[in-house]
Chains A and B, each alone.
Chain A
Amino acid sequence: MNPEYVGAVVISGLVIVFLGLILLIIAVNVMGAVFKGIKGMRKKQKPADPVQDSPRVIPMPSEPLVIPQSEDEEIIAVIAAAIAAIGESTGKRLSIKSIRQKNTRSSWAGAALHENTRPF
């Protein structure tokens, strides 16, 4: 084969592949920016939800327990009762100072963890 022809195949091949995929990067970035903008506009239109945005702090026992009207109510009540029961049995006054939402593992990380631990 003619070396010039080989060189032309290699260079044009690499350039076109990179060009094609760079065009796709631009398209996906534009798409992402548009959707980010739309999401931002929707957020602005919605009233802020203080219960969801800030960590929930439940002072006990000096102040009355304020439980947010959420699906976590029952869990918080059970944990508070369990701690109170431990306090009674040991004679110590135990209290829940605050409840904060912790950043849990994302679904992607969870999937990866599952994928890699499945054989075991």
Chain B
Amino acid sequence: MIQIFLDTLADLARSSGLAALQWQNAVMILISFVFMYLAIKKGFEPLLLLPIAFGMLLTNLPLTEMYHPELWNIDEGAELDFGRILHEGGLIDYLYIGVKLQIYPALIFLGIGCMTDFAPLIANPKSFLLGAAAQAGIFLTFIGAAALGFNANEAGSIAIIGGADGPTSIYVSSKLLNAGGYEVEVGTIALAAYTYMALVPLIQPPIMRALTTKKERLVRMEQLRTVSKTEKIIFPIAVTVIIALLVPSAAPLVGMLMLGNLFKESGCVDRLSKTAQNELMNIITIFLGISVGATTVASKIISVAFLKVILLGVVAFAVGSASGVLFAKLMYLVTGGKVNPLIGSAGVSAVPMAARVSQKVGAEEDPTNFLLMHAMGPNVAGVIGSAVAAGVLLSIIPH
């Protein structure tokens, strides 16, 4: 009897997760704990970082059978076998279908549209230029990624981190990295993007101070005009038509963003607007976070490629912020000092954090100078700009 008991114990030990645990998994589990700490204790983008970190934990616990990378890694030219995924997949495989088909980022954009007020941008349309200038970070990082040996699809996925927009990063990388065999994965891109978005208040201020003079930081901007309700209703329709005609591949993101905004501004579909910005967005955030986190398998994180992604990510953010500030300086000169260059850094998306940083740095020089609303213009323009840049990358790079 004792022998049977000991055999049973031995069998249990052999079939347990502990026996199958490799050192790479253990390291990844520790990294997931670090990200959970950052989300819970430090408040680093907790809404997404916490589910991402937990997805990372689940996928690295051996034998859980919740996510199967082998089902998603397909040869070039081959197509995903969704029948096999449904038969052999686990819970996270099913949730990951929404990432792979680019459903979640578009629905997140719908919710963002419901929460965004484009009035500062409509009142001061020149802010669009700052939203465009900050996208230089994306394209200049593409050069850096190419120089570090990444191929076009990987470089495009890394470069989009500079847009400072999590859903856009996931959308672009899931499309460009659709086939298997790449050094980077959607999860690693998302992880870098959300970490840097949380670090915007640390990354941007030194760049802003270094590129501006005290006199420029003290500029008080003219009060914005009042925007009528009709203008707010026409705006999302006009943006959708213009952008979808110019860059059709940006239509899923821009279209959903503007549909959400039309829900908000029309005032006739309050129920839809509230659902899109609350319940729907929260549900999608959970699905997106946990499934993206699950793609962060050890082989993709404990690698030189991931270190390069981290390095290029911070370069992308810094270059994007600097481009915005420099373009705003140009506007300062052209307008005879009517534009405060600090609002330029808000051209990277990261709504509303980047605008708050502009306000904070401006208030350090003059506490009575309120730049927040002026910075919101470039900030929401940055959301449109990064979606257009995403569309451009997708239309140029074969995938």
- Which positions in A face B, CB cutoff 8 Å? 1, 3, 5-6, 8-10, 12-14, 16-25, 27-29, 31-32, 35, 106, 108-109, 111-113, 115-116
Contact = CB atoms under 8 A, between A and B. Distances in A.
B246 A20 contact: yes
Q: Taking chain A's interface residues, is the majority helix, strand, or loop, or is none over half, making it mixed?
A: helix
B388 interface: yes
B170 to A, nearest CB: 19
A8 B121 CA distance: 30
Given A1-B155, A17-B385, A116 B142 contact: no
B231 interface: yes
B370 A113 contact: yes
B315 to A, nearest CB: 14
20 contacts: A1-B151, A1-B155, A3-B146, A6-B142, A9-B156, A10-B142, A17-B385, A17-B389, A19-B246, A22-B132, A23-B242, A24-B239, A27-B238, A31-B238, A106-B223, A108-B223, A108-B224, A108-B373, A111-B372, A112-B371
A109 B393 contact: no
B126 A16 contact: no
A43 to B, nearest CB: 14
Interface of B: 120-122, 125-126, 128-129, 131-132, 135-136, 138-140, 142-143, 146, 150-152, 155-156, 223-224, 228, 230-231, 234-235, 238-239, 242-243, 246-247, 356, 359, 363, 370-373, 381, 384-385, 388-389, 392-393, 396-397
A40 B381 CA distance: 29
A107 B396 CA distance: 44
Contacts of B138: 13
Contacts of A18: 129, 132
A83 to B, nearest CB: 31
A34 to B, nearest CB: 9
Q: Taking chain B's interface residues, is the majority helix, strand, or loop, or is none over half, making it mixed?
A: helix
A88 to B, nearest CB: 40
Contacts of A29: 125
Nearest to B225: A32
Nearest to A28: B125
Contacts of A27: 238-239, 242
A35 B131 CA distance: 25
Nearest to A3: B146
A8 B396 CA distance: 9
A10 B128 contact: no
A1 B246 contact: no
A24 B125 contact: yes
